Amino acid sequence: MKLSEMLIRLRSKIPQEGKLLLAFSGGEDSLFLMYLLSLYFSDRAEALYVNHNLRGEEELKKEIERNKHNASKLGIPLVIKTIERGVIERRAKIDKCGIEASARKERYSLLYSYARENNFSFILTAHHQDDQTETILMRMLSFSPFWAWGGIRERDGMLVRPLLDTKKKDIKEAIQTLSLEPSLDSTNSDTHYKRNYIRSFILPSLSDSEKDVISKIAKNVSALNDEKVKFITLSSLYASFLRSEYLALSPLQKEETLYSIFSAFGEENRISRGHLKEIDEGIKDGRSKYESKRYVFYFSKDKIKAYKKIDDFSSLFLFSDTALPYSLKVSTKEKSSLDLKIDRAVSEKSIIRKTRKDDVILLKDGERRISSLLKEKKLPYAIVMEKEGKILAFFSSFLGERDRITSSLIGKEGECVRIELGR
């Protein structure tokens, strides 16, 4: 395909309205996407580079300078965010995952926070067809459920991947034709990482037609995934459905129902058929719950509820500090049915934190232990709002009752700040 034709085709895949934030590594793929943005969308595009601090200082310095040069050359503003050295390694240990997975979580956390803080409508990533093939192969080799073979989606909420149907070799040729100089990441050649092993040893052995077949598999499975079982209430943190409707499904539909929940939770790469089978048996037997370190399912005779566990509550909010100088906003796109108004004077100098065992709150029916309230409501977690050692309120993404806040929090119109809770 001629470069001009490729650029015209890709232009149509970029959202035509709204601010665009490019996830920029400086490599061939993201550099090519930056070039595309510079041609057609420079007036509403910006790039963000995340320094993971996983390589030597000299290499990182050269990479950052190269990225600054390319961004300046193409006329796209570049923002650089640096992760403190050691943070990714510590998170990998806590989450019991690899360095790559941990780095990805930190990177996307920064991307989403920056995008929402600065009113970006979309985050663009430079995933291409070969990345899709790698992903499908990884999931096949990991014996992931069939529904995981849908791979990477071209659109997923704020995320847009305009290059997903573009071959890596076409991007390489375009970079050479345009005389652009990408930066090189030495970790991409480290075959200790599974993805890099697949990229270095398996992909080169596949023909273009074989790669196309894998890509078509992903598209077909994605199309099936888009036809979600209609009875599921689903968000990135919460899911629910009727037990009777689930039991009426075929085995394959049951698997898809459960898998769709984990996909929404961002856990699709961690779920095995063994997990799905255990949950399915729990639903059939009417057990009270099924729990792991990352999620919990509550079973009753009538309804099934699933929650994603959140340990790092800062990920729910648009700030990293626990201080609340003005307002509290949950970083979900969904509009809450609960719109609380909190007196500005009360919210100032308040902090948010996780609940503790001995936390109590004074409600209209008297003093209550928060741990008891969580158990009563079958809530997996909550946060508390505290001021000068006194708990003023506690919140969960799944709470809607106003008696979870003290009456002193409610101020007059014009003297309040809004607290938006996601569901």
Chain segment 207-246, per-residue pLDDT in tens: 777 777 667 666 665 655 555 556 677 766 668 888 888 8
Q: What is the mean pLDDT of residues 188-198?
A: 59
Query: What does the buried/exposed string (b/e) look like for 273-301 if buried means 16 or more CB atoms within 10 Å of the residue's CB?
Result: eebbeebbebbeeeeeebeeebbbbbbee
Q: What is the pLDDT of residue 321?
A: 32
User: Is 315 part of any domain?
Assistant: no
- Shared-domain flag, residues 24 and 98: yes
- Shared-domain flag, residues 24 and 160: yes
Q: What is the pLDDT of residue 225?
A: 54
Most confident of 269-273, 330-334, 396-400: 269-273
Q: CATH number of the domain that 276 lies in?
A: 3.30.465
* DSSP track, 103-151: HHHHHHHHHHHHHHHTT-SEEE----HHHHHHHHHHHHHTT--GGGGG-
- Shared-domain flag, residues 279 and 343: no
- Shared-domain flag, residues 296 and 356: no
- The answer, yes or no, to whether residue 21 has pLDDT greater than 60, is yes
Q: What is the mean pLDDT of residues 245-251?
A: 84
How far is the C-alpha of 33 from the C-alpha of 39, rounded, in Å? 10
- Shared-domain flag, residues 303 and 333: no
More confident residue, 408 or 349: 349
Q: What is the pLDDT of residue 1?
A: 66
The residue out of 261, 283, 307 marking a domain boundary is 307
**Do 394 and 371 contact (CB within 8 A), yes or no?**
no
Distances (CA, A) of 108 to 103, 158, 404: 9, 12, 32
User: Is 157 part of any domain?
Assistant: yes
Q: What is the pLDDT of residue 37?
A: 96
Q: What is the pLDDT of residue 354?
A: 66
Enter the DSSP assignment of 200. Answer: I
Q: What is the mean pLDDT of residues 62-70?
A: 94
User: Is 44 part of any domain?
Assistant: yes
User: Is 374 part of any domain?
Assistant: yes
More confident residue, 230 or 373: 373
Q: What is the mean pLDDT of residues 322-327?
A: 32
User: Is 219 part of any domain?
Assistant: no
The residue out of 253, 282, 307 marking a domain boundary is 307
Q: What is the pLDDT of residue 364?
A: 67
- Shared-domain flag, residues 118 and 263: no
**Binning pLDDT at 50, 70 and 90, where does residue 140 land?**
low
- The answer, yes or no, to whether residue 157 has pLDDT greater than 80, is no
Q: What is the mean pLDDT of residues 279-294?
A: 81
More confident residue, 293 or 69: 69
| pTM for this entry | 0.56
Q: What is the mean pLDDT of residues 135-156?
A: 67
The residue out of 273, 307, 341 marking a domain boundary is 307
- Shared-domain flag, residues 260 and 326: no
Query: What does the buried/exposed string (b/e) look like for 371-405 if buried means 16 or more CB atoms within 10 Å of the residue's CB?
Result: eebbeeeebbbbbbbbbeeebbbbbbbbbeeeebb
- Shared-domain flag, residues 284 and 384: no
**Binning pLDDT at 50, 70 and 90, where does residue 19 land?**
very high
- Shared-domain flag, residues 110 and 164: yes
Most confident of 17-26, 178-187, 367-376, 387-396: 17-26
- The answer, yes or no, to whether residue 66 has pLDDT greater than 90, is yes
Q: What is the pLDDT of residue 2?
A: 82
More confident residue, 126 or 253: 126
Number of domains in the chain: 3
Pairing outcome for strands 289-291 and 295-299: antiparallel
- Shared-domain flag, residues 410 and 357: yes
Distances (CA, A) of 277 to 1, 102, 145, 272, 298: 46, 27, 11, 9, 16
- Shared-domain flag, residues 278 and 365: no
- Shared-domain flag, residues 41 and 104: yes
- The answer, yes or no, to whether residue 110 has pLDDT greater than 60, is yes
User: Is 222 part of any domain?
Assistant: no
Q: What is the pLDDT of residue 334?
A: 38
User: Is 392 part of any domain?
Assistant: yes
**Binning pLDDT at 50, 70 and 90, where does residue 374 land?**
confident
User: Is 134 part of any domain?
Assistant: no
Q: How many CB atoms are closer than 10 A to CB 207? A: 8
> What range does the domain containing 352 cover?
321-420
Q: What is the mean pLDDT of residues 246-252?
A: 82
Query: Chain-wide mean pLDDT for the chain?
Result: 75
Q: What is the pLDDT of residue 356?
A: 77
- The answer, yes or no, to whether residue 14 has pLDDT greater than 90, is yes
